[in-house]
Amino acid sequence: MSDTTANAVDAKSNWLSEENTRRVKRRYAADFRMRMMGLGAISLAMLLLLILLGSIVLNGYSAFWQTHVTLEVYIDPDKVNEENLRGSNFRGMVKEGLLDLFPEVTKPADQRKLFRFISRSGPHALRLQVLDDEALVGQRIEVALATSDPIDQLHKGVIPRDVPEDDRRIKDDELVWYDKLVDGGYITTPFSWALFFNSDSRFPEAAGLAGAITGSFYALLVCFLISFPVGIAAAVYLEEFAPQNRWTDIIEVNINNLAAVPSVVFGLLGLAVFIGVFGLPRSAPLVGGMTLSLMTLPTIIIATRAALKAVPPSIREAALGVGASKHQVMTDHVLPLAMPGILTGTIIGLAQALGETAPLLLIGMNAFITSPPGGIFDAATALPTQIYIWADSPERGFVARTSAGILVLLGFLVAMNMFAVFLRSRFERTW
């Protein structure tokens, strides 16, 4: 060995040499850069997430409060049809109650403009109150009615006042009437329970999510009743009983591929088979749940197989050693121990199905439904499709309603994921 080669070997073997010191510094520098890149990526992702959530909250928080005007309304017996209260002139009663606050407004054109302060759902709300208590007929009652969308937007500061009259929806005389209501304490802004208990409406101030929440519940119920037992049965067979041959390999590959198929493909399948071939009703939660179950099945099967693999082989061997059949091993020992993981995968799959829009749009669950569905065969909409409908509406009030719907949907998704985490932490066992 030459002297040069020997010196190089000695330098590499000497940890205190300058070459090794430089090598260690380069390695530490590379590790530091890698950590900084990872932290930078995480920080960027968190920043974008905060920007997204912040924009949704800023646009949607105002929809959780609704502007109301409080009026004293006389339930005139002459205007009440005792045989048919629904056909009574409640609109005229509301108009008289509003005109009592503005005796100076005498022109018919101005009265019509003034009456547009009240939402078109206002007389309907008064009618419901009288239907609940017919003893109110002949009395003067105080009732808080929702204002129309322009007044609601004005009160929330969405419509500016400091612009020329021609550039805003609220004219100067209407601003005078609005200020009089505010100064008199007739304007209030309570929490908008109508957002949760009203169904869809063409008027933003009256539109709610009750029909969409009910439709999503029925669709997820159908999805769960189909995908949960079928998914568990398929996973148990493939994992424990199926022979390892070409056919099972093809099935496993297709299940893994189906988990990555775009959801719109399942919507096309549901449209072609469930509606086109079987003739099931369009827009029904039954069809929506069956379509979502096709999309959820691969996720549940994969999660169930992973949970079954996590059960130690010693459990199976011990059960077989005491004389249990393979069927008894699965039903009495393996499945109960794997159930926390199975439930977690199922809830995550259902949460994914809850947020899907494309399959439901294709089967027609985006119809204009003004009342919650009474069952799985009634026409309905769902939370994601309701958000889509509102986002496509031109009225300014639906902008806030859209963001509020997204917040409600995110709330349900977070709750379902938290429930999945709770189940795993509550029932998970370690060996």
Q: Give the pLDDT confidence of 21-37 residue by residue, as tens digits.
A: 888 888 899 999 999 99
Integer Cα distance of 222 and 214 in angstroms: 13
pLDDT of residue 220: 93
The more confident residue out of 7 and 323 is 323
Output the average pLDDT for the chain.
Answer: 87
pLDDT of residue 405: 93
pLDDT digits (tens, 9 = 90+) for 89-118: 888 888 998 998 998 988 989 889 999 999
pLDDT of residue 274: 92
Q: Which two tokens stand for residue 241?
A: 């009983």
- 351 Cβ neighbours under 8 A, 6+ residues apart: 412, 413, 416, 417, 420
pLDDT of residue 178: 92
pLDDT of residue 191: 92
The more confident residue out of 19 and 186 is 186
pLDDT of residue 243: 87
Residue 1 reports pLDDT greater than 80 = no
pLDDT of residue 86: 65
Name the CA dihedral angle for 114, 205, 122, 98, rounded to a multiple of 10 degrees.
-30
User: What percentage of the chain carries pLDDT values higher than 90?
Assistant: 37
Residue 202 reports pLDDT greater than 60 = yes
Residue 219 reports pLDDT greater than 90 = yes
pLDDT digits (tens, 9 = 90+) for 264-323: 899 999 999 999 999 889 889 999 999 999 999 999 999 999 999 988 888 888 888 888
Residue 387 reports pLDDT greater than 90 = yes
pLDDT of residue 157: 87
User: What percentage of the chain carries pLDDT values higher than 70?
Assistant: 94
Residue range 196-211: average pLDDT? Answer: 90
Residue 369 reports pLDDT greater than 90 = no
pLDDT digits (tens, 9 = 90+) for 138-193: 888 899 999 999 999 989 988 888 888 888 888 888 999 999 999 999 999 999 99
pLDDT digits (tens, 9 = 90+) for 413-424: 889 888 888 877
pLDDT of residue 76: 81
